[in-house]
Structure 1
């Protein structure tokens, strides 16, 4: 990434992704968009025990929605479950313990969820990992952790739940991405970051977030019954940011969004009727579809590259659980 490209992205972020950017955008929000009954709708949120995922889960629970929390940590998940139930007064919140970096664990969860006949209207793929430091880490399956969680895990969970979503009314899938993807072009030659001279966790994270944007656009074409979207919550002051990007947090902490401000676009995409008036497969920021590329458009991939990514993900999925879900 050149210094010039990095500067463009940073200046764009300083203007739009901070608290000030949210406050400016919010002046145009229609409050009626969120004034809607969702008591008969079911929502699954990954990474719902902290940050913007937890805020979104709480907002949905307060509106009476059925919430399925998907979390990796039993301790943090149970604490969040109790807190959300107490704050919302909604006991129809359910905790599912799944390690989203483990393909077989996702398969087992999806099969159980489907076999139980549990309905699902909205899937919010919010969970993600950003590895700090310069050490490339592998999962028990020998997969690079960032790719396993942010890309392959999202693919397996989403495609596995497609039959449930397609049988539901007004089905939606939301994938939470990052502004870092704007300075990344899809790189099929090193999906698991084996060729890096020195592992860069932030770069790996941003590359997987570019992959998610490509995946979403492809899902929209493949599954027309479901409304797909990606979104960027902006730069929010979350525990994840504080732990993974301490220098970034220290420099911008007074300008970072609250978790509630970051969660707003996720909630809007999940519940509002206005969201699905836009075509499926778009990228949203502060309730508006925006470009997935910087003006110079050097990050655009070809249709054949996009298809190849999906083929690779499907092949890897089948390798871990024998056949397609």
Structure 2
């Protein structure tokens, strides 16, 4: 079955995920959808110093939005901030240094942000990683899972109250079409069983993000949630983590602006927020979250188990004594329900 999934996915990708696929889809885009001003609206973008994140931050800044760049490396973040300010002429661009793999620090950052700022209109979960060898974080989580799933989970859950206070709140998560080859594995969330394949672990994390988005949408009707696939994009992350694929695809890869287009559309376009919450998007259109006959659907029990395990992991980490994390807690550990 995995061979079938991989083959169907790759053939579909050649037609739809490449630069040519974007150019074909873009013929149906309404150019007025992004002809908007977002002055007065605030946007938080994780992984905003390069690739799709930076392209998204640039697009938002050019339209007058306030941009909060959440990045891991200060030097790269400040350099990207300078580029965005110079090209957009918008000085309302701020840098926050957070490593999304550090669960407690993500939570502390989100709580501090909530106290400092009165509103947040849009959260864009873009940061991600592919680590090819099993590596554990200080919180005891596998690093891909910690960054791609738990980081987005903790940040979003903690910021939901602030988003709910805001006008037209939205949460967009940058997933991957690679998740289509994976079924949610509730008995092995952190890839402890069998051979460790970083690419497949990443794809599993991206499936987890899709399930998370669907569950967030059901639980939080005041916020519009969406998850998207940017296509196959020529980013520094792809070049570093998937060098063979990057070389093989070459000029067929999308530009970062093309990869970011649907993120920007979901974040800025009025029509986007009128679509049904919780959907998976590709080139501005909702698309299925499963390949035909691929047997990747999950039962209600599996989804409930997944959400329960995330809640338990989060509560366990955030309730540990503060000295175990080299810093004071900012407030009592939350209950994720």
What band does the TM-score fall into relative to the shorter chain? over 0.9
Shift of the alpha carbon at 1:82? Answer: 1.2
Quote the Cα distance in structure 2 between the aligned partners of 1:125 and 1:207: 16
2:303 equivalent to 1:306? yes
> What is the match of residue 204 of structure 2?
207
Q: CA deviation at 1:87?
A: 1.2
- What does the per-residue CA deviation read over 1:213-250, in whole Å, with 9 as the maximum and x for residues that have no partner? 00000000001100000000000111111001010011
- Displacement after TM superposition at 1:3 (Å): 1.9
Assess if the C-alpha contact under 8 Å between 2:47 and 2:126 holds in 1: yes
User: SS at the partner of 1:190?
Assistant: coil
Separation of aligned partners in 2, 1:309 and 1:271: 31
Which contiguous aligned blocks of 4+ residues in structure 1 show a shift greater than 6 angstroms? none
2:248 aligned residue (225, 228, 251) = 251
1:324 maps to what in 2? 334
- TM-score w.r.t. the length of structure 1 is 0.97
SS at match of 2:134: coil
Answering whether residue 105 of structure 2 is matched by residue 105 of structure 1, we say yes
The residue number in structure 2 matching 1:234 is: 231
CA contact (8 A) 2:2 2:181 kept: no
Q: List alignment gaps of at least 5 residues for structure 1.
A: none
Q: Distance in 2 between matches of 1:225 and 1:324?
A: 21
Following superposition of structure 1 onto structure 2, how do residues 65-84 of structure 1 map, counting pairs within 5 Å?
Answer: 65-84=65-84
Instruction: Please give the alpha-carbon distance, in whole angstroms, between the structure 1 residues aligned to 2:7 and 2:114.
Output: 46
The CA distance in 1 between the partners of 2:56 and 2:115, in whole Å, is 27
SS class of match (1:279): coil
TM-score, scaled to structure 2: 0.94
Aligned to 1:276: 273
The unaligned stretches of length 5 or more in structure 2 are 320-332
**Separation (CA, whole Å) in 1 of partners of 2:307 and 2:288:** 21
* Contact 2:183/2:295 (<8 A) preserved: yes
Aligned to 2:326: none
Which of 152, 155, 161 matches 1:154? 152
Deviation at 1:297, TM superposition (A): 4.3
CA RMSD of aligned residues (A): 1.0
Q: Note the C-alpha offset of 1:277.
A: 1.8
Task: Describe how 1:1-325 pairs up with structure 2 within 5 A.
Answer: 2-132=2-132, 135-196=133-194, 198-322=195-319, 323-324=333-334
Shift of the alpha carbon at 1:93?
A: 0.3
